[in-house]
Structure 1
Amino acid sequence: MLERLFALLLLALALPAGAVEIKDDLGHVTQVPAPPQRVVSLLPSLTETVCELGACGRLVGVDRYSNFPAQVNALPKLGGMDDTNVELIAALKPDVVLVAVSSRVAERLRALGMKVIALEPRSYKDVQRVLGTIGQVLGVADAQRVWRRIEAGVAAAAGSVPPQARGVRVYYEVASGLYAAGTVSFMGETLTRLGAGNIIPPELGPFPKINAEFVVKANPALIMIGERGSEGLGARPGWDRIEAIQRGRVCVFKAEDGDILSRPGPRMAEAAQIMAKCLREKTAP
Structure 2
Amino acid sequence: MHDASIAFATPADAPRWMRWLVFSPLARIVIFAALFIAFSFALGGLMHVLGWGGKQASALEHGLAQLLLRALPALLAYLLLVKLVERRPLGELAPSRLLPDGARGALVGLLLFSAVVGVLYLAGSYHVIGSNPDAKWLPALLMVGLGAGIGEEIIARGALFRIVEEGLGTWLALIVSALFFGAAHIANPGATVWSSAAIAIEAGLLLGMLYHVTRSLPFCMGLHVAWNFAQGTIYGIPVSGAPADGWLVSTRTGPDWLSGGVFGAEASVIALGLCSLCTLTLLVVALRRGSIIPCRPWQLLLQRFDRR
TM-score normalised over the length of structure 2: 0.26
Q: Quick check: which one's strand share is greater? A: 1
Greater Rg over alpha carbons, structure: 1
TM-score normalised over the length of structure 1: 0.27
Q: Quick check: which one's helix share is greater? A: 2
